[in-house]
Structure 1
């Protein structure tokens, strides 16, 4: 059975006239920058080298003067989310960068010392738990010694509580951000022009024009855009548009100590990501994959894409995002056809009544 993705002709109808879906060679020119303009820029986030330091979160908040949030979204308050080290929880109007912490574990068999029944330690007439019923009074001591010997201690990992080949706990960390999609549904539905495409190919919100209608919030397939509760206006990552116009890199990429967040020309980042993926796969990391790299996906490719070490759902990302305005041309066509049919039926009824 052939699976149908969001980019399949069965869903998109592969209509070359549909400018709301499919690859676009030059998003800036499509937005009206007909004269010479900079190359499209973007983010490549390599999660395999993210250490979860949150330097990107801090730099983003500091540069953009974003207020603090507690777990309930209350501004200018510090709270705990209760989600491990993840205190921001998700992207929002006041958190344009979010470092996710994902702890992956599985049940493993570990060597455990025999402990015996309460009050029955070293009693030969009572079987010792976890030890063979040999009647040997030294069974418990021998079992403990087998675990606490020098070799076991050398292999024991105090962070995971596991030994040797049983070390199956790992942390996955990733700095999430607005994807600056090739086809941005938020931009398509904005009635005031508050959302616009820059000459760098990024998508930016103009807060002084936003009227707080909220149409863009459900139009984002990634759930990135969020409204502030006090005035209803939306806020999201601008890829530091003010810094780009001055020839500087975004604050988050500048602050990242491991180059997990890389900024540059999008085509160069894509080539770099392809090479990095090939290297990891050669090293046996079979679960490594690129997310948002494919220009044939449901949003025409993202301006901020990722190298993941597991399924997108593990990181809280949709597996097959589709721009919400993709089917608007077909919907308008169907509506026009339906309206024409209704007019035809009405005319037929009127003409038929006159003949009588």
Structure 2
């Protein structure tokens, strides 16, 4: 199971953020407008499991037949001087990677993969080591300052077990956040991209949907209207523990070599 987030219909209402906090009892953040932005949460973290980004982009006005710039502005796009501005809004969340590095490095089993193929942190098992924090290629996981344990989106694991959809998807008024079986969501997303291309939105693209990417595909993927970097997403994420098995083999080989050398030196000394 997973999420498909269609950013082209996100209105930035932050209903998903509120629903997530209320259902999962996630602590509130301090109000911070971060300068001139409506984005008062800033990024995903231990106390922000859903983050709605507000990205303001200057857009040159369209050319007119009689001059270099048109005198009208598209509906919904504010104009400042001779420059139009568009807002890209996107509700970000843990990607629930197919190949999740956080699972590889957790020493206590606090992180586990559920029967829904999602990745969950068991707070009562987490020892606060923090290994999962740098292991995440998306920078999603964070330790909570008050108690030192790691927290992130659980895709409302308790709701899934009761046959309900996650709180964020339930609260989304525009169906920007869609929940369901990943194969079905990927087919729906591909159709949506084709529709947008036909409607004159060539920049529409999918992110995190490809099972052959560096993390084996994401359990939460997105339809974007610009490059991933614009949304603060890595363009080519890879599982950070991809070389872990080889490292352990080399370490084991080195340990055996040292043990053999010690044994030989001991025999030689006799």
User: TM-score, normalised to structure 1's length?
Assistant: 0.68
Name the stretch that deviates more: 282-291 or 81-90.
282-291
The equivalent residue for 1:102 is 55
Q: In structure 2, do the counterparts of structure 1 residues 107 and 49 end up closer, same or farther at CA, with 3 Å as the change threshold?
A: closer
The equivalent residue for 2:24 is 64
Gaps of 5+ in 2: 64-69
Quick check: 1:279 aligned with 2:228? no
2-structure distance, mates of 1:175, 1:156: 26
When the two chains are superposed, the root-mean-square deviation of aligned CA atoms in Å is 2.4
CA contact (8 A) 1:93 1:227 kept: yes
Q: Which one has the bigger strand percentage?
A: 2
Which one has a bigger Cα radius of gyration? 1
Residue correspondence of structure 1 range 172-187 to structure 2 within 5 A: 172-187=88-103
1-structure distance, mates of 2:256, 2:36: 55
CA contact (8 A) 2:78 2:86 kept: no
User: By how many angstroms is 1:333 displaced?
Assistant: 2.0
User: By how many angstroms is 1:282 displaced?
Assistant: 2.5
Quick check: 1:88 aligned with 2:41? yes
Quick check: 1:196 aligned with 2:112? yes
User: TM-score, normalised to structure 2's length?
Assistant: 0.88
The equivalent residue for 1:161 is 80
Q: In structure 2, do the counterparts of structure 1 residues 156 and 236 end up closer, same or farther at CA, with 3 Å as the change threshold?
A: closer
1:198-231 CA deviation, whole Å, 9 max, x = no partner?
1111111111111111111111110101111111
* From 137, 146, 168, the counterpart of 1:221: 137
Q: In structure 2, do the counterparts of structure 1 residues 294 and 98 end up closer, same or farther at CA, with 3 Å as the change threshold?
A: same
Q: In structure 2, do the counterparts of structure 1 residues 325 and 109 end up closer, same or farther at CA, with 3 Å as the change threshold?
A: closer
Name the stretch that deviates more: 272-281 or 92-101.
272-281
CA contact (8 A) 1:83 1:89 kept: no
1-structure distance, mates of 2:110, 2:73: 56
User: By how many angstroms is 1:347 displaced?
Assistant: 6.4
Gaps of 5+ in 1: 1-40, 71-77, 111-150
2-structure distance, mates of 1:338, 1:177: 40
CA contact (8 A) 2:10 2:90 kept: yes
